[in-house]
């Protein structure tokens, strides 16, 4: 199969999917793995610092993940150009996404520095809220300086996935987080003559690693020798797709921010336990999402080249592989329920609270395998408007009501994680119907 300009559109074999998915898995897993390591380092400082990290990580998660269109939207647009053999236009999407990353990132830094204190105080709440907020505030102020770098890396991942290069992003991201992982315990505990910064040392280590990785993504654009000037028509087109993806991500973040804030009302042990399991959930979601990354790239290229049958083949293969992976992960974490939580904290109050969300995590994994695979297919097709609507409805009907009812009736983590499970089931119904309808199969680069 070939695109319009003769660029090969490779068959959706298991080997081809794996060749894209495994490096993408490394990229997706690098940050959650580092955050899990960070949790383990900070967890030795006690429940208060761990709760402070939970609130800080919640803020940073909102800031960095809110603009996922810089990655996912860029992949969809770049992949279609790549499918017709126009690599220069595909890389050009990355240049414009990088301009957006820098502009938006700088704006966010200023906003966070001005508003961090009331934001952290609002999220912490509860009987221990003042102490948790005091612990979290310095971490948030330092870590937010990395937001432009995080967004530059997202844009870089986006265009490289679009041209079906998932190896270089892996090298860049792993290098940055490896530096952070070395620095984190040194700066938190003051080892080897380093200053003992406590929780703030975690933020400094993260800041340094993120900017090192961003520098490598800048270099990759220079190597391509693409025109670096801003192009308003391309920027506008990216923002149109970004609008729907931003609203979709807002729905996610409204849910997760609410969940973290409500968990904090039940005390430091509850919010710390919630953060540990949520971080594991995020990590496992991204493990499954590596197959969805392959789907984005292959589906976008196939649709750009007008190969609709090929796009459908990718959708089915990736969904099958991802579902099997979800079932396997569920079995693994069910077996490890008594041992794995102790890796992240030795605080008995936190360990006692982990049991409830842990089994919700296990039950959700097979459903997540299907949902995330189809998400990748629809993102690759640029079906952003439908995904926006499906996510908003699922959040408003499923997740948010149960979270706030948990606060009103004292259901605690049981109610919060029931909401997350309902959210996932509703999303499964929506995206399953969409992919079976075939309405996402639209050819061309527009």
For residue 38, the Cα-to-chain-centroid distance in whole angstroms is: 17
Q: At what angle do helices 232-265 and 87-124 cross, to 10 degrees?
A: 30
Q: Are 138 and 52 in contact (CB under 8 A)?
A: no
Report, as an integer, the average pLDDT of 130-142: 84
Asked if pLDDT for residue 131 goes beyond 70, the answer is: yes
Residue-wise pLDDT tens digits, 38-47: 888 887 887 7
Domain locations in the chain as residue ranges: 14-230, 286-437
Report, as an integer, the average pLDDT of 64-69: 68
Residue-wise pLDDT tens digits, 202-217: 989 999 999 999 999 9
Distance, in Å, from the CA atom of 17 to the CA atom of 296, rounded to the nearest integer, reads 11
Tell me how long the chain is: 446
Q: Are 31 and 335 in contact (CB under 8 A)?
A: no
Distance, in Å, from the CA atom of 83 to the CA atom of 362, rounded to the nearest integer, reads 38
Q: Hey, CA dihedral for 146, 288, 358, 335, is it positive or negative?
A: negative
Distance, in Å, from the CA atom of 319 to the CA atom of 309, rounded to the nearest integer, reads 16
Which is nearest to 220 in space by CA: 131, 153, 279? 153
Q: Identify the residue with better confidence: 239 or 97.
A: 97
Distance, in Å, from the CA atom of 126 to the CA atom of 133, rounded to the nearest integer, reads 11
Residue-wise pLDDT tens digits, 339-387: 777 777 777 777 777 877 888 888 889 999 999 999 888 888 878 788 8
Q: Are 62 and 362 in contact (CB under 8 A)?
A: no
Q: Are 258 and 404 in contact (CB under 8 A)?
A: yes
Residue-wise pLDDT tens digits, 390-409: 888 888 888 888 888 887 77
Torsion of CA 148, 149, 150, 151, to 10 degrees: 50
Distance, in Å, from the CA atom of 329 to the CA atom of 322, rounded to the nearest integer, reads 10
Distance, in Å, from the CA atom of 316 to the CA atom of 22, rounded to the nearest integer, reads 18
C-alpha distance from residue 279 to each of 242, 362, 434 (Å): 26, 14, 29
Which is nearest to 14 in space by CA: 321, 293, 300? 321
Distance, in Å, from the CA atom of 255 to the CA atom of 172, rounded to the nearest integer, reads 31
pTM over 0.85: no
Q: Are 264 and 406 in contact (CB under 8 A)?
A: no
Asked if pLDDT for residue 446 goes beyond 70, the answer is: no
For residue 395, the Cα-to-chain-centroid distance in whole angstroms is: 17
């Amino acid at each position: 199969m070939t695109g319009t300009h003769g660029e090969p559109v490779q068959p959706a074999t298991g080997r081809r999917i794996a060749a894209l998915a495994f490096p993408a898995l490394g990229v997706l897993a690098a940050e959650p793995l580092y955050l899990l390591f960070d949790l383990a380092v900070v967890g030795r400082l006690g429940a208060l610092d761990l709760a402070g990290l939970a609130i800080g990580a919640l803020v940073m998660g909102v800031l960095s993940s809110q603009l996922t269109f810089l990655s996912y939207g860029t992949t969809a647009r770049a992949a279609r150009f790549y499918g017709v053999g126009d690599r220069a236009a595909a890389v050009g999407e990355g240049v414009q996404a990088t301009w957006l990353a820098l502009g938006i990132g700088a704006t966010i830094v200023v906003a966070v520095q001005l508003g961090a204190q009331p934001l952290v105080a609002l999220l912490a709440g509860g009987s221990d809220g003042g102490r948790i907020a005091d612990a979290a505030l310095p971490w948030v102020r330092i870590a937010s300086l990395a937001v432009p770098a995080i967004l530059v890396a997202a844009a870089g991942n986006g265009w490289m996935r679009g041209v079906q290069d998932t190896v270089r992003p892996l090298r860049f991201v792993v290098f940055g987080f490896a530096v952070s992982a070395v620095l984190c315990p040194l700066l938190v505990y003051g080892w080897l003559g380093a200053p003992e910064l406590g929780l703030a040392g975690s933020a400094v280590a993260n800041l340094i690693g993120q900017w090192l990785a961003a520098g490598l993504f800048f270099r990759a654009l220079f190597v391509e020798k693409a025109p670096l000037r801003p192009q308003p028509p391309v920027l506008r087109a990216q923002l149109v797709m970004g609008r729907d993806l931003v609203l979709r991500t807002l729905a996610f973040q409204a849910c997760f921010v609410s969940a973290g804030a409500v968990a904090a009302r039940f005390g430091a042990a509850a919010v710390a336990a919630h953060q540990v399991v949520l971080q594991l959930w995020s990590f496992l979601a991204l493990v499954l999402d590596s197959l969805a990354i392959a789907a984005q790239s292959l589906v976008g290229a196939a649709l750009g080249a007008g190969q609709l049958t090929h796009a459908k083949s990718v959708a089915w293969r990736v969904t099958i592989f991802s579902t099997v992976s979800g079932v396997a992960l569920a079995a693994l974490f069910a077996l490890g329920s008594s041992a794995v939580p102790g890796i992240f904290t030795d605080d008995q109050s936190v360990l006692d609270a982990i049991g409830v969300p842990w089994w919700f995590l296990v039950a959700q994994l097979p459903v997540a395998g299907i949902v995330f695979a189809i998400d990748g297919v629809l993102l690759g097709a640029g079906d952003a408007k439908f995904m926006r609507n499906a996510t908003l409805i699922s959040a408003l009907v499923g997740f948010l009501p149960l979270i706030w009812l948990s606060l009103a009736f004292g259901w605690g983590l049981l109610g919060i994680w029931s909401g997350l499970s309902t959210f996932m089931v509703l999303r499964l119904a929506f995206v399953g119907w969409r992919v079976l309808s075939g309405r996402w199969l639209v050819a061309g680069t527009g």
